[in-house]
Amino acid sequence: MCASLRRRVARGAWRIVDETYLDLDDREPDGTEVKSVLACDPGAIVCNSFSKFFGMTGWRLGWAILPDDSTVLEAVDDLATNYYLCAHTPTQHAALACFTPESLAECEARRQELLARRRIVIDGLQRIGLPVEVEPNGAFYAYFNISRTGLDAWTFCERALNEAHVALTPGRDFGAATADTHVRLSYAASREALSEGLERLGRFVESL
């Protein structure tokens, strides 16, 4: 039994993990996929979505893996009946098609594409001199430090949008800790759009 599982059981707690980005994670050094929390804690509650790895953002479809425990099953059943009547039929057919070898190959190719985009973004921000203290892994966002520009994150984003036509998200959307010093860039856009955006961002930072 792993230590965190021991602690959870000792506290009589539930562990709820959102694994929406798990399949986009970097592989382990030996090439195997990063394991679900269920490998360590089979009693965990795991939520997932077709929104990221399968690229079905906005389809409003996901799933949960629940322990075989009537307290959880009944609670989630109550919640679920309040959340939906049912997912519509075309969405469900599309979700089933996600698990064919062809679809999985397509999704893996997209994961590789995100790695290439991540390189463009990390290198580009480094060139501009905006530090990415934690290299992104899994999701497709770089969270970088803009404090050397002398602007707070909100003003930085507002001015980057108005003056360079680059859309970024200020840190305050993600909590108080780095609300004014950090900014999030999504690299879900194409390589071309990212290169162009970084060029513009570089010129914007220089102009400050």
Ligand X SMILES: Cc1ncc(COP(=O)(O)O)c(C=O)c1O
**152 exposure class (CB count in 10 Å sphere: 0-12, 13-18, 19+):** middle
Closest separation in Å from C-beta 203 to ligand X: 30
Among 44, 46, 49, 170, binds ligand X (CB under 6 A): 49
Q: Which residue's CB is nearer to ligand X, number 51 or number 178?
A: 51
Under rule CB under 6 A, residue 51 binds ligand X: yes
Helix 191-207, helix 101-128: angle, nearest 10: 20
Among 4, 18, 28, 69, binds ligand X (CB under 6 A): 18
Among 62, 67, 131, 202, binds ligand X (CB under 6 A): 62
- Rounded to the nearest 5°, which phi and psi values hold at 78? -60, -45
Q: For the segment 116-145, give every residue that binds ligand X (CB under 6 A).
A: none
Mapped onto helix, strand or coil, the DSSP state of residue 137 is: coil
User: Alpha-carbon distance 111 to 164, whole Å?
Assistant: 29
Q: Which residue's CB is nearer to ligand X, number 128 or number 183?
A: 183
Q: Which residue's CB is nearer to ligand X, number 51 or number 181?
A: 51
Q: Give the chain's count of helices (H) and strands (E).
A: 6, 6
Closest separation in Å from C-beta 52 to ligand X: 7
Closest separation in Å from C-beta 99 to ligand X: 17
Reading the block at residue 184, the tokens are 């999030």
